[in-house]
Each structure stands twice: as structure tokens, then as C-alpha cells.
Homo-oligomer: A and B are copies of this chain.
Amino acid sequence: MSIAEAGEFGLIARVVAKLENYPTTLLGPGDDSAIVAAPDKRVVASTDVLVEGRHFRRDWSSGADVGHRAAAANLADIAAMGATPTALLVGLCAPADLELAWAEELAGGLADEAALVGASVVGGDTSASPTLTVAVTALGDLGGRKPVLRSGAEPGDVVALAGRIGHAAAGYTVLSRGFRTPKALVEAYRRPSVPYAAGPAAADAGATAMIDVSDGLLQDLGHIAAASVVGVDIRTDAFEVSDQMRDAAAALGVDPYQWILGGGDDHALAATFPPGTTLPDGWREIGKVHEGTGLTVDGRAWSGPAGWDHFK
């Protein structure tokens, strides 16, 4: 059955049936607006759009995969402020002949990823469109924490990373060359594994700046460097290149550090901490902040691709 056959309200009913409410949901789908708890009296909010052919392909990813990834991209933005996610809102634009089952899988993936952090899908909107598009907004609560911005890094700070990096980019390259394995890399592209708890933990540990690595580590650390008016140097020996990644890189003729330093989509978190900070669980040092500007790798300019421009 297509979503046109189900009708707008049929689609919404089937999608809502996939959702579960969490304590932060004071009013879920079905009214003009949702109502979400904001105990901190400040709400953290972020929006991301995913466009078919640009951010996902239906022959590479299932509806559930796209749901997981769309949710992860937004939930990671909340975590990167030092907040815990509370809710998602979803706008789905879809061709009228989209299979209802795909839309239901999408909703299931969104809900399952949100459930990892105790959040739920509280509302949304649907429209017909020639281009399958998923627009997600995530909300979060700071729980009394000071938000960690991009602009607070200081010379002498330690640069640290939480979560895996380069795996999603490697999976993307594998898929784009027509392969389906290694499965670990392909799965990393399909469903990021985001260290959500590392965001609030970093805030509690005194992180001076933080960012979600969505476009590529160097590009995203470049945003911290620019906003903080500092220089950042990354050490390549801080990254372990897994055997799978090394083998795939060799087979595909790619430098694995292009995936690690320039690849997006893993939604690792990168942060800076004052020197001497005991890094919280899940964080590892990858470089240093110094006076100056810009990004260097092992003290030198990086010649490879630094990340994405979404209109290039």
C-alpha cells in the first residue's frame, strides 16, 4: 500500500502507532502542537534536513536506517551542547507512491534511536513531494548545566574525541564503489553509533568548547578554532586505524586518514578541556589548542579534503 492510498491521516495514524511516550512528553502527537518538559527553563533546539540522493539512498539504507540516522544527526547536536535530548519533531515530504511500510520503518527507526536517550517523537507533519525529504528537529534539556559552545576553547586546552570516527565515511565509500562489505563499515554509515552521554559528561567535566562531528573532524574542529579564535593541532597517532578500515582503504586505494579527518556522518563529539582535566569516560585526547588560527595535523597543513559543503 502506498502512502497516497493510506491518505494523510491514515499515514499519520500508522506512524503514531509506532511511537512510545516518555516522561518528558507532556502531550504527544495529535493536537496542533506537542508539549515537552523543559525543567531547566531553557530548551536546546536543533534542526537537520535529510534529502534522498544527497543524504541517503533507498537502495543503500532501509527506512529504519534512515530514521536512525536522521534522529542521530539531531540528537548529537543536542548532546554537543551538554544537554540531554527530550523530544523529536519530524517533517516527512514523500512521493505519493512511497510504500507505507517504508514510512512506518522510518518512524520506527526515529523512535528507536530517540529511545536510546529516553526521548520520543512528539509531533510532525507530512506532505507530498517529488523528493523524499526528512526534516527533524530535536529538543533537549540542560539540566542546570552551562551550555558548551564552540567559542570557549583556550590555548593550552586539550582536544578530545568521543565516539568512533571515519567508519561512516568508509562505509559510504564502500557503498559508492558498489560493495556491501565490510559489514561493520557499511553498518556504521547506515546507523551511526553516537556517544550521547559523553556530551553532558563533558559539560560536567568542564569542557570549554564542543561540537558534533557531522561534516568532518578537521572542518568541524575548524569551526571551534574560528569561533574561539585559536589554533588546533591534531595528532594522527591518536587515531587507531582498525584492521577493517586499513584493509578496505588498501582495497579501494584510499588513505584511511581521509575518512578519519575528512569524513562526516559518524556524529562523534569533539571537545576541548582545560589542561590537566581528567577526561570523562569515553573521551580520548587527540590534540592540543594553541595560540593562532586554523587547523594543523601533526603540526603541518592538511592537504586532503577537510569536509563537506552541502551545495557542492
Contacts and interface: CB of A to CB of B under 8 A. Distances in A.
Contact of A87 (B45, B80, B91, B312): B45
Contacts of A37: 41-43
A123 B47 contact: yes
A74 to B, nearest CB: 9
A15 interface: no
B44 A124 contact: no
A39 B51 CA distance: 35
A4 B150 CA distance: 26
A81 interface: yes
A54 interface: yes
A8 interface: yes
A130 B131 contact: yes
A38 interface: yes
Interface stretch (A133-141, A179-187, A274-282): A133-141
A147 B123 CA distance: 16
Contacts of A311: 3-4, 6-8, 11, 96, 126, 128
Ranked nearest first, the 9 interchain pairs of A and B with the lowest CB-CB distance are A135-B135, A38-B38, A131-B131, A33-B46, A49-B91, A32-B80, A137-B137, A47-B89, A32-B77
Interface of A: 3-4, 6-9, 11, 26-27, 30-51, 53-55, 76-78, 80-81, 83, 87, 89-93, 96, 122-131, 133, 135, 137-140, 142, 147, 149-151, 210-212, 227, 309-312
Given A33-B46, A38-B43, A49-B129, 10 more contacts: A8-B311, A8-B312, A11-B311, A33-B45, A35-B43, A36-B43, A38-B41, A46-B123, A49-B133, A55-B127
